[in-house]
Amino acid sequence: MRSIQQQCTYCGRTGELTRDHIPPKNLFPKPRPSNLITVPCCETCNASFSRDDEHFRTIVACTEETAQHPEAQKLWEQRILSQLHRTGGSAPHELIKQSFGSDATNVTEFQIHEAEVRIAGVLVRIVKGLHFFEMGVSLPISCEVRFSLDTNLVDVGGPAGAISVFDAARGSRGRDIGDGVFSYRMAEWLGKPGGTIWLLVFFKSLAFLCSTAQETGNAPDKTIIAVMP
Ligand SMILES: [Zn+2]
């Protein structure tokens, strides 16, 4: 199947292209849903993703709240336990410490550490992929992707409340994929060149608020959601 855009969504390379799943398909236990999103991607980019995807899945599926979700529990049974065993495995709490700093005793409190480039890299890729999927064009190279450190979004009623805020906003778009595994919502950031705002929710309980913009500015926060039309 040939894609309409004959360019890699991430690096712009042309030529032989494959498809990349957004979010990574390893987040979905089998049997996988039929409405997974894919975007055009070159072989080089695609080959570079798999280890980070595995790490991302382990972290995202093992927070105190996400681990309670039935689909996350299926992932643990199907994949993650054997993955940890195979890699000589750190226990989940060790992985969390490695990823979010030694002070993190409870992942619901975690902040994305600046050094945690692998997690950040997957989030940026998800935003870029969804940007192409929703807008029909790749995010311009001049645009930055930023994300909020508040993964609980307490002030807007948690991830579910944040989804409601987006759903009530005129012109917002989004999808729910795979029995609560992943939901996203997006809206254009009015008055901001290259500006879009994204809510990414994993297992209904872990949320990242992301934005794109051409110029450096403040990271997105609750204020921005609150003023959306
Ligand atoms: Zn590429």
Ligand 1 centre from 43 Cα, in Å?
7
CA distance 227 to 229: 6
Q: Pick 5 or 10 by higher pLDDT.
A: 10
Q: Which of 43, 23, 44 is nearest to 33 (CA)?
A: 23
Ligand 1 centre from 46 Cα, in Å?
7
| Domain of 183, in residue numbers | 144-226
Ligand 1 centre from 40 Cα, in Å?
9
Q: 3-class DSSP state for residue 57?
A: helix
How many other β-carbons are positioned within 10 Å of the β-carbon of residue 61?
26
Tell me what the pLDDT averaged over the chain comes to: 81
Does residue 94 lie in a domain region?
A: no
Question: How far is Cα of residue 8 from the mean position of the Cα atoms in its chain?
Answer: 19
Does residue 156 lie in a domain region?
A: yes
- pLDDT tens digits, 39-59: 999 999 999 998 889 888 988
Tokens of 68: 């309670």
Q: What is the CA radius of gyration of the chain?
A: 17
Does residue 178 lie in a domain region?
A: yes
Ligand 1 centre from 131 Cα, in Å?
15
Does residue 66 lie in a domain region?
A: no
pLDDT at res. 44: 93
Q: Pairing mode, if any, of strands 37-42 and 144-147? A: unpaired
Does residue 153 lie in a domain region?
A: yes
Number of domains in the chain: 1
Does residue 5 lie in a domain region?
A: no
pLDDT at res. 88: 62
Does residue 135 lie in a domain region?
A: no
Q: Could you tell me the pLDDT band of residue 153, with boundaries at 50, 70 and 90?
A: confident
- pLDDT tens digits, 100-114: 554 444 444 444 443
pLDDT at res. 43: 93
Q: Could you tell me the pLDDT band of residue 185, with boundaries at 50, 70 and 90?
A: very high
CA distance 38 to 17: 12
Does residue 195 lie in a domain region?
A: yes
pLDDT at res. 99: 54
